[in-house]
Copies of this chain bind each other. A is one copy, B any other.
Amino acid sequence: MANSSARPPRSDRRRNHERLLAVATDLIACDGAGVSLEEIARRAGVGSATLHRHFPSRRALLEEVFHEGVERLCGRARELGRDDPGTGLATWLEELTLYTTNNRGLATSLMSGAGELPPEDTCHGMLLDAADDLVARAVEAGVARPGVSAADLIVLTNAISLATEGDPATAGRLLRLALEGVHP
């Protein structure tokens, strides 16, 4: 499937990619996802054209920045699904909310499901897959109503993080509210 005639990337390319990613991670963590791309390039010591060559859109950059953390969250979902089908979903959603709330910009990155990148190694796709399984188990265990979909839950936690960005306490409270419901 992959074009095997492609030569491995040059060493300077790899080096710059790493540098950009590292700087972007730092800057996004402290200033949010709206940070200036020029600034990232500047601090990484590369021209702005190089940044745009490596990451054709802000979205693409964010996807790579958060890839590792999202992968960890997916692993955690598998773990919880295996060990604790009962409260696993709730626990995972709480962890997800905490992560997206603390990583200003992930929520933004998750927003638009469809993009120009490959279908299912976007953060959104990865989390969706992980959640699907967890939700199925939860419904099976009778701790989640049959109607709920993983997609909706992802969007909901995403929404909460987006609106409470930087305030984990409120985010957690809203998530629990949504899980328990407003009606008694």
Contact = CB atoms under 8 A, between A and B. Distances in A.
A16 interface: no
A110 to B, nearest CB: 9
The copy count of this chain in the complex is 2
A165 to B, nearest CB: 9
B170 A160 contact: no
Interface string A145-163: 1011000110110111011
A177 B156 contact: yes
Interface residues of A, number: 31
Contact of A179 (B107, B170, B181): B181
Contact of A162 (B159, B180, B182): B159
Interface of A: 89-90, 107, 111, 142-145, 147-148, 152-153, 155-156, 158-160, 162-164, 170, 173-174, 177-184
